[in-house]
Amino acid sequence: MILAEIKRYLQQRGQATLADIALHFDTAPDAVRGMLETLLRKGRIRRQQLNSACGSSCCKCDTAATELYEWTGNAVPDPHETGTLQ
């Protein structure tokens, strides 16, 4: 699993939970979360916490199932990629 594959997956789906991404790539959620942090820093994705479907706040849901990532496509310019680093 590489960052470009996660990027492509989110571009195609628009959004996905951490659990869905981890299952798709057969990888631990914590490993995927680390990769997603790069896309978050670059402004390519946005993270949201879903509310539980039952309406209670018991917090028994797996956080990987309630952590939603949405592709935004926006990018913060990276001076390393644009060649403007001095």
pTM of the model: 0.74
- Quote the domain boundaries for residue 46: 3-75
Domain presence at residue 18: yes
Task: Look at residues 50, 43, 45 and name the one whose alpha carbon lies nearest to residue 70.
Answer: 45
Domain presence at residue 82: no
Domain count, the chain: 1
CATH number at residue 20: 1.10.10.10
- Which 8-state DSSP code applies to residue 34? H
How buried is 81 (Cβ within 10 angstroms: 0-12 exposed, 13-18 middle, 19+ buried)? exposed
Selected residue with higher pLDDT from 20 and 77: 20
Strands 15-17 and 67-71 turn out to be antiparallel
Q: What is the CA radius of gyration of the chain?
A: 15
Domain presence at residue 46: yes
pLDDT tens-place string over residues 52-79: 555 566 666 666 778 899 999 876 555 5
